[in-house]
Amino acid sequence: MAGSMRIAAVFLMAGTVVQADPSASGGERPSSDEPQNVVSLLQTNLLMDGFKDGVQEASDDTAKASGSTTTTFSITDDAFGEGHQEVRMKVLRNTVTGERAEVAYNVGGRTEALVLKSPSTGELREVLLHSHRNASEVMANIGWKGDMLIPYANRIKNGTYSLNGRTYNMERNEDRSPYGKEGLHGYLYRKVMKVVEQVSDDESASLTLGYDFDGTDEGYPFLLSVALIYKLDKHGLTITTKARNRGSDGQPLPFFNSWHSYFNVTDVSRTILSFDRRCSQWNHITVSGDSNIEGDLIPTGSTTTFNGFDGKAPIGGTRDNPTYWDDEFKATASVKQCPHLQYRVYDPAVGDASVLWADSQYRWAQIYTGTPGALGEQAIAVEAMSGECDSWNNMQGVRLLQSGEEWEASFGVYLDSATDTLA
């Protein structure tokens, strides 16, 4: 399909049609007079066909439909902040239970909030740490709350990597002096994403955002197209990432991703974290200086067997000063042995667990418990990663997408009342 072709919107499901201004496009964070993104309703096959030439939007006349149908799930617009600091969101909602997911599309598709019904109390609760609708905090990107980490996650040593005989120097946006300066968490967090598709019916609400990297980001001169698909249904929230190298020069591009998900808890020190041990053992990734504080957090290539986070003991420490983790781990089982992984964050004060699940593409995880000291809030970051920290140098999990090659993977969240340790 040619990049300039107008994509006909085909609506085959009973749902709600929402229209918006067709003139918006992806870019950096918006100015106050930026138009709203267009909403198109596309069949999945049409969407992905268009994805071959980059992120596509349907023209407004093809998206029109008369009337609307009241459905269990809906997608609405919301915003907070003013002018250059306005945060624009799509809200996926279960109108029966009140559950919702808020996705900020003009700041890289970050999850601004996730509210699910507790199976233990029957009440709605905030699952993810968020900005409390503080636009200044969002624009300052404090704590990377809910950010989609693309085209790389975690750290790249010195912001530098080599590919096919050429060295690339990216932004070094983390200063860990005297141990060094690193590239941290990619570039998508500051991009304005296109709203490509939204569909809601009695089964789910689904939102697709897209962004085309144009090669102008420092140290990343590649034509990467990304689609993020958020789906809220009775099972919780699922996020699917699709990536494609749309370059035609025959050169590969490096890619790996994660989601900076913090899970709210009553007290980090009393929270019980469980790694999935039903089908895999785990390694702890050794970093420079063997310290998660006094060092650059860059892997050395060495690992040690890790038997912790077995669901039997709390994090430890005190409420204000819990045992500190800022560490990376890898599941050692093969994909065939263990095609899916789960991480359970059990809050005994509430009586339920936030469960982060990930498909076979995500074999690494970063755990961070320093939130009370760093952000003044009780939450644990559990990040499913498709590659290891500094993977563009150590090649642990890096995806080198050839021209035209596509990649797809999913993770998600649900609440569970069971105290299963995943042993």
- DSSP state at residue 279: S
Rounded CA-CA distance 104/87 in Å is: 6
Cβ–Cβ under 8 Å, residues 113 and 90: no
Report the topology of domain 27-149+188-246.
Beta-galactosidase; Chain A, domain 5 (2.70.98)
Instruction: Show Cβ contacts of residue 45 under 8 Å, excluding neighbours closer than 6 positions.
Output: none
Residues (pLDDT < 50) of the chain are: 1-25, 30-48, 58-67
Phi first, then psi, for residue 232 (nearest 5°) are: -110, 125
What pLDDT sits at residue 49?
Answer: 52
CA atoms within 13 A on the CB side of 197: 28
Q: Taking the domains of the chain in order of start, what are their residue ranges?
A: 27-149+188-246, 267-416
Question: DSSP letters of 143-175?
Answer: GGTT-EE-S--SEEGGGEEEETTEEEE----EE
Equal CATH topology for 27-149+188-246 and 267-416: yes
Return the closest-CA partner of residue 283 out of 185, 354, 363, 346: 363
Which residues sit opposite 174 in a β-bridge? Answer: 182
State the CATH class of domain 267-416.
mainly beta
Distance CA 298, CA 158 (A): 10
338 token code pair: 């263990």
Going by C-alpha positions, the residue among 322, 303, 321 that lies closest to residue 363 is 303
CB-based contact 263:388 (threshold 8 Å): no
342 secondary structure, DSSP code: E
Phi, psi of 350 (to 5 degrees): -100, -35
**pTM, entire model:** 0.87
* First-to-final CA distance of the chain: 48
Cβ distance 357 to 342 under 8 Å? yes
Determine the distance from the C-alpha atom of residue 251 to the mean position of all C-alpha atoms in its chain, rounded to a whole number. 26
